[in-house]
Amino acid sequence: MQTISTQYGELIPQHTSDDLRKREILPVEYHGSGGLKSVPLETQTVIATPAGEIPAELISFHENGAINRIFPLNGKLSGYWSQDDEAALSKPVTLTTPIGLIRVKVLSVSFYDDRSLRSLTLWPGETLSVPTPAGPIEARIGVSFTRDGKVRSLEPAKPTSVPTRAGEMTAYDPDAVGVNGDANSLMFDEEGKVCRVITTLTKLTVIHPDGHTHCHVPETRESLCSEAEQEVVPMTVTFTKDTVSVSTDPDATPMTLPREGHVFFAESHLPQLANPFVELHCSV
């Protein structure tokens, strides 16, 4: 055991293990420059951050010594210790954020190297009402912010209609994974306009300069739950000031078209209505 001095006080690295949550002793890691990179803590320790006091079992740091990400819990899931067991230890934390004072259970809280809040990763099942340029939206999984405190992205908790440069689109990603809340399926640019949407419920039609049209719709794949069913693959549409990119296959290069000379418009797309009697178990 050796105490480590940081900007946030003295930290005691993990030096013991147990048979349930912490089945191994995790190492302390350092940046190439020699600065502390991450430290698992022996016991949960309350850390004073710009967002408020947060209990921590694992902390990672930027090279300048500022906190990068803080994890209130760091148990190892196994046949002996389940997510429900870990969830029973999770407690709500009160945080001062760009969207106001909130109280919520979090998997982690991330900061930029200037100590401003970067993102919140919510505990599974937790939701948070987020005021956005598109209006208040209920978020799950995560919310991220720009350095100056604007909402950068969030993961909608349910299919949500948002205005885009192509018209109203329904933002929702049934395949979203809650590893962290840094980058989410609904994103805004510096002007507060939607710059990326992931959707299974919108069709994007493009009218080309020569007059012909092409429709982009979410594709389908064999269901992960049953070989007899098909499920929808989320489609990603990205907007910039000059281009629109569409990706219907996560493994393929997106199709990018200039906005000038093309007309883009969105409309509802409900592929499940083609066979309304089949229940979709894995997606929307």
Average pLDDT value for the chain = 90
| 44 shares a domain with 108 | yes
Q: Residue 43 falls within a domain, yes or no?
A: yes
The average pLDDT across 93-112 equals: 97
Q: Residue 134 falls within a domain, yes or no?
A: no
Q: In angstroms, what CA-CA distances link 129 with 99, 126, 132, 281?
A: 9, 10, 9, 26
Whether 282 shows a pLDDT value over 70: the answer reads no
* Helix or strand (DSSP H, E) at 221: strand 220-222
| 93 shares a domain with 18 | yes
Pairing relationship of beta strands 263-268 and 202-207 according to DSSP bridges: antiparallel
| 119 shares a domain with 164 | no
Q: Which of 19-33, 38-52, 82-96 has the highest mean pLDDT?
A: 38-52
Q: Residue 171 falls within a domain, yes or no?
A: yes
pLDDT tier at 281, thresholds 50, 70, 90: very low
pLDDT tier at 178, thresholds 50, 70, 90: low
% residues pLDDT > 90 (the chain): 75
Number of domains in the chain: 2
Neighbours of 229 (CB within 10 A): 17
Of 65, 93, 126, the residue at which a domain comes to its end is 126
Domain encompassing residue 79: 1-126
pLDDT tier at 18, thresholds 50, 70, 90: confident
| 185 shares a domain with 93 | no
Q: Residue 141 falls within a domain, yes or no?
A: no
- Compute the distance between CA of residue 157 and CA of residue 46 in angstroms, rounded to an integer: 30
| 180 shares a domain with 90 | no
Q: Which residues pair with 207 in a beta bridge?
A: 213, 263
Answer for the pair 236, 186: CB distance below 8 angstroms, yes or no. Answer: no
Whether 128 shows a pLDDT value over 70: the answer reads yes
The average pLDDT across 218-225 equals: 78
| 121 shares a domain with 20 | yes
Q: Residue 282 falls within a domain, yes or no?
A: no
- Compute the distance between CA of residue 40 and CA of residue 15 in angstroms, rounded to an integer: 9
Of 64, 93, 126, the residue at which a domain comes to its end is 126
Q: Residue 241 falls within a domain, yes or no?
A: yes
Report residue 269 as tokens. 């797309």
Q: Is 183 in a helix, a strand, or coil?
A: coil
Q: Tens digit of pLDDT for each residue in 144-175?
A: 999 999 999 999 999 999 999 999 999 999 88
| 119 shares a domain with 176 | no
Amino acid identity, residue 67?
Answer: I
Report residue 172 as tokens. 């929702």
Label residue 191 exposed, middle or buried (CB < 10 Å: 0-12, 13-18, 19+).
exposed
Label residue 265 exposed, middle or buried (CB < 10 Å: 0-12, 13-18, 19+).
middle
Answer for the pair 237, 246: CB distance below 8 angstroms, yes or no. Answer: yes
Q: Residue 188 falls within a domain, yes or no?
A: yes
| 152 shares a domain with 103 | no
Residues 6+ apart with CB under 8 A from 59: 8, 11, 38, 39, 41, 47, 67, 69, 70, 71
| 267 shares a domain with 179 | yes
**Which of 64-68, 79-83, 121-125, 224-228 has the weakest average pLDDT?**
224-228
Residues 6+ apart with CB under 8 A from 227: none
pTM of the model: 0.88
